[in-house]
Amino acid sequence: MTDAVVARGVELTYGDRVALAASDFRFPAGAITALIGPNGSGKSTVLAAVAGLHEPAAGELTVLGSTPRKERPRIAFVPQSTKVNDLLPVTVREVVAMGRYASLGMLGRFGPDDRAALDEALDRLDLQPLAARHLRELSGGQRQRVFVAQGLVQSHDMLLLDEPTTGLDIVSTEVIRQVVQSERADGCAVVITTHDFAEARAADHVVLLANRVVAEGAPEEVFTPENLADAYGLELNSSHEHVDVDDPAHRPTQTLHRHVEIPPLDD
């Protein structure tokens, strides 16, 4: 399997604060890579660096065989829904159409190919019935599907999704998961950041972060008690129950170590 992303000694910083200490990692081509770790562990910063939005302070980052900035036209980026201005007076169709601006530029004419790509993206995310609705009229799950459709409508070889299913209803989560699997089947490299162990376990490749790469590889290689203890400071108990470790409801208040149950790897 060739690699879509190769990082050698990559360090990511915000001024004096280190988001990712010098690290090596790789994201395979034509596969789903999940970036997982506690809040502030550097997941979104790594995604931004791969997108060419955050310049590494040190090291070498190769994306699709070149530098991230050069390959930007081949990368579709879906930002976190919380970082989007959802009060913008635009319809769903207009938001999704923005993805075509990557090829159209500031003045290119929206032609039949663009309209076909737009309709296909709306279909894939079950958004046709909502196409004329205003962004602020949608639920959180519907909005997130719009943002994913905006990424899909762009011609791309790599799809980056920043917490695409966080806080979503089951229907929207399932629609997005199907799209992610379909993208992978089409040979696209998909990278998602997540807090959800079940979502990460469904990926082909996992990178566990804690302001450094704690472990990377197949889910069963990464989700070991030692690695999770290292990343989260956890006591572990294997069970079928899914737990989001960043959900305050699952945080005991009187113990130093959080007690977390993770889904088994073999079901």
Partner 1 sequence: MDWLAEPFSHAFMQRAAVAGILAAVTTALVGTWVVIRGLTFMGDALAHGVLPGIALAVLWGFDPTLGAAASAILMVLGINVVHRHSRLNEDAGIGLLFVGMLALGVVIISRTPSYTGSLTGILFGDALAVTTRDIVLLAATLTAVTVTTAVFYRSFLVLSFNTDKAEMLGLHPRAAHVVMLALITLAVVASFRTVGSLLVFGLLVAPPATASLLVRRVPAMMAAGAVLGVASVVVGLLVSWYADTAASATIAAVAVAAFFVVLLFRPVSARR
3-class secondary structure, 63: strand
55 binds partner 1 (CB under 8 A): no
Instruction: Decide: 10 and 61 in contact? Cβ < 8 Å.
Output: yes
**Residue recorded with tokens 């409508």:** 153
Nearer to partner 1, 87 or 256 (CB): 87
In b/e form, how buried is each residue of 45-78, taking b as 16+ CB within 10 angstroms? bbbbbbbbbbebeebebbbbeeebeebbebbbbb
Is 102 a residue that touches partner 1 (CB under 8 A)?
Answer: yes
In whole angstroms, how close is the CB of 265 to partner 1 at the nearest point? 34
- In the shown chain, the binding pattern of residues 147 to 166 toward partner 1, with x for contact by CB under 8 A and - for none, equals ---x---x------------
Give every CB contact of residue 40 below 8 A, 6+ residues apart in sequence: 211
Determine the size of the site formed for partner 1 (CB under 8 A).
32
Among 6, 21, 57, 84, binds partner 1 (CB under 8 A): 84
Q: Do 159 and 190 form a contact (C-beta atoms < 8 A)?
A: yes
Q: Tokens for 29?
A: 């081509």
Nearer to partner 1 by Cβ, of 163 and 216: the residue is: 163
Strand-by-strand arrangement of the 205-209 sheet: 75-78, 158-162, 189-194, 32-36, 205-209, 213-217
The amino acid occupying position 198 is A
Site for partner 1, residues 61 to 80, rule: CB under 8 A: 72-73, 75-77, 79
Q: Looking at beta carbons only, is 12 or 76 nearer to partner 1?
A: 76
- Asked if 207 interacts with partner 1 (CB under 8 A), we say no
Residue type, 201: R
Among the listed residues 13, 91, 184, 235, the single contact to partner 1 using CB under 8 A? 91
Q: How far is 5 from 7, CA to CA, in rounded Å?
A: 7
Does 101 bind partner 1 (CB under 8 A)? Our answer is: yes
Residues 220-259 that bind partner 1 (CB under 8 A): none
Binding residues for partner 1, rule: CB under 8 A, are: 48, 51-53, 72-73, 75-77, 79, 83-85, 87-91, 94-95, 98-99, 101-102, 104-107, 134, 137, 150, 154
